[in-house]
Amino acid sequence: MLKKSVLLAVIASLPFAFSATANDRYQTRPPVMVSPDLQAAWVLQLGGVPVQTRGYATRPTVNAGRQMVPVYRQQVMQAQPARQRPLVQQRRVLFGQQPTVQPVAMRPNKPVRTQIEPQFLPQMVAYQTTEKPGTIVIDTRERFLYLVMADGMAKRYGVGVGKPGFEWAGTHKVTAKREWPTWNPPKEMIAREAAKGHYLPASMEGGPENPLGARALYLGSTLYRIHGTNAPWSIGSGVSSGCIRMRNEDVTDLYERVKVGTKVIVI
């Protein structure tokens, strides 16, 4: 009977002995040597230390009562149609290499002019006319403004003129001059541009960004002006709503040479 009791006591104490031995044995995880050539997420988890590798991001997860173990999550690449991704490219993506961009046949965009054409720069030219010196003659077809001088000469400036549908001709006088003028676009222009999705301000103070530029010469009682611009590369083109635009340095030079009352002929 005594032997049976001792045997039962020994058997009852075995789980605690095994539990203590197991806890002592696995209290600290043994180090695992991992080759740097191995990049799979499940292999990296064996080390227990976050490893910074391209294509992977670390995120710790908390388990109640247990050691925090880093979890590695592979980045999700945007899916593309298989016919646009050759097999070689797919293999490169799987092994972490940068995919090769395949050349695509493209139609070149229309070149954008950013500089003024040389012929539209100011210059003295021979100009035969019966108009008196000081008269301004604007040739909208050739995109030139002539300031008539003495002895059959004129100073010629390049200008931007009205776009198709906004051309005009006539004779007026300079009725006002303004430095860095305020821009008050007409209601018709505001409505016309709004229909295109371009919303113009009711008024804009003078400054480098103002479409009227540095100077403005007002023509008669019309809404037309000879003025500067914030887009000098447009000189020599038909781009305005009827106004005659010049480079800021050119309109400033003209501004100093003419007076209120100067005759302006637009042809």
Catalytic residue positions, numbered: 227, 243
Tokens of 75: 């980045």
Pairing between β-strand 170-179 and β-strand 263-266 as defined by DSSP bridges: antiparallel
Tokens of 55: 């294509």
Tokens of 195: 């229909």
Name residue 126's amino acid: A
H or E element, residue 238: strand 238-240
Do residues 261 and 173 make contact, with C-beta atoms less than 8 angstroms apart? yes
Pairing between β-strand 170-179 and β-strand 215-219 as defined by DSSP bridges: antiparallel
CA distances, 224 to each of 30, 170, 212, 221, 264 (Å): 87, 11, 11, 8, 12
